Structure 1
């Protein structure tokens, strides 16, 4: 099973939460516009530049709950927002956030417009060729989600002959079919859950964080996770490639270790996901 999962999961990458959008309107405001201009124009050691300025410029979407989004008071909040703020505090600087569309923000990291990006970014081989990554601070596994009274599915091998629901172009549908399931096409998560609770499908495959987020919002939903993949996608912080970034990466890695040991990462994960996704 493991080899098959690894081969298919290599393509999951940014679609870990299939139904969460990555394209957004650019919401950079007047307070952050200046911070994005030639953020690294001086060259040299990036950590020293950040500490000299007293701020670290962080790219994020601001529309992807519960990672990064605006609350009812229009305040930027979320798991990644608080993790980034905690890292900035460890570095002794202010966290300045710039919001925009996913692809544009990643390109901005490469171009040096932003120092780092905090947006549930999964590490892939393709991304690692363009960016340096911190050590992972969260881990995403693929879950089989079933009704809470379903005892017939306890492993991926049990999907053989079962009916699942997913968008047909998703890697989750491909994974289910590789184990002998028949995938029913759906448009969104709500439709998936409706089919599942109505008993019209046996299961759905999705990122475990999608399940936790849904259960946070619908604690009485009669659902459970039947099985998780052995291997997880790694969530980390991308930054510009280059020798000048090495000290920043080391400082961020040290901050992540301390935040994990202090229980801060676990507390934030439980706050936003209702479960700890920060432990490997």
Structure 2
């Protein structure tokens, strides 16, 4: 074998080794088992979704789902890494193995189930009514007749209000805001009578303004549920995470984390 053949053989061997290592590394990341059964779990999230996952004033990723994931990983004896991703590409990120789970207030839908494995639902995603503290005349959806209400543009609540005749005919006005914070500020200042919006967002705002806002605990429109998503072929990790989630529900840890972020346990029992 001459030197050219030897060099070619050596290069081929290096490329083959690199390919095997690369594929193995990607599979390890996909499985969440970079170091045997105690590998790092990489959580994909939108880091601008308070209170589920967002960056605080110290640029640290915090939130309700972040706390849940940290506690679950601790119980599994694994490290956890939070990776901000383009949320519109979340399924591709999961399928490629760049993240092991999607854990960020993700609605469970039949369409998503075609491409992802889900945990059992751990929280309802409800739209509810918020009013100024002490108000007693708003008790349900029908009591909004003749009143001015606010919601966020391009939200689930707006979609429901736009297609429901009651809000077109019986409600005095539906004001739409760029964000829920602006709607809640108008509510506090008496410019509108109520806000309809995501329970998780509203209760988080309430926890920061306990003396000015309260919730009318009635679901408005359809109710969806949040779950944790895994790659379709990653049943093992899904089952491991589900097991510790069940333990966290049973021992009250999940309820405590909910109370921290929402002032109330709003997780599914």
The count of corresponding residues between Structure 1 and Structure 2 is 240
Aligned-pair RMSD on alpha carbons?
A: 2.6
What is the TM-score when the length of structure 1 is the normalising length? 0.75
Q: Which of 135, 141, 153 is residue 156 of structure 1 equivalent to?
A: 141
Which residue of structure 2 lines up, in the alignment, with residue 264 of structure 1? Answer: 253
Which residue of structure 2 lines up, in the alignment, with residue 209 of structure 1? Answer: 200
Measure, in 2, the Cα distance between the counterparts of 1:82 and 1:154.
33
Shift of 1:86: 1.6
Could you report, residue by residue, the CA deviation over 1:105-128 in whole angstroms, capped at 9, with x for unpaired residues? 442012222111221212122222
Larger strand proportion, structure 1 or 2? Answer: 2
Within 5 A, what are the aligned runs for 1:47-86? 51-52=36-37, 54-86=39-71
Could you report, residue by residue, the CA deviation over 1:52-101 in whole angstroms, capped at 9, with x for unpaired residues? 46222221233322222233433332221121122222322211222222
Q: 1:118 aligned to 2:107? A: no
Which residue of structure 2 lines up, in the alignment, with residue 228 of structure 1? Answer: 218
Q: CA 1:143 to 1:194, structure 2 compared with 1: closer, same or farther past 3 Å?
A: same
Q: Which runs of 5+ in 2 are unaligned?
A: 1-21
Measure, in 2, the Cα distance between the counterparts of 1:53 and 1:88.
10
Could you report, residue by residue, the CA deviation over 1:181-223 in whole angstroms, capped at 9, with x for unpaired residues? 23122222233123323333221100111121112222222x2
Q: Which of 155, 178, 181 is residue 187 of structure 1 equivalent to?
A: 178
Shift of 1:267: 0.9
Q: Which runs of 5+ in 1 are unaligned?
A: 1-36
Shift of 1:104: 3.1
Measure, in 2, the Cα distance between the counterparts of 1:100 and 1:41.
17
CA contact (8 A) 2:33 2:41 kept: no
Measure, in 2, the Cα distance between the counterparts of 1:38 and 1:160.
60
Measure, in 2, the Cα distance between the counterparts of 1:77 and 1:38.
32
CA contact (8 A) 1:39 1:112 kept: no
Secondary structure of 2:230's match?
Answer: strand
Measure, in 2, the Cα distance between the counterparts of 1:206 and 1:147.
14
Measure, in 2, the Cα distance between the counterparts of 1:47 and 1:202.
48
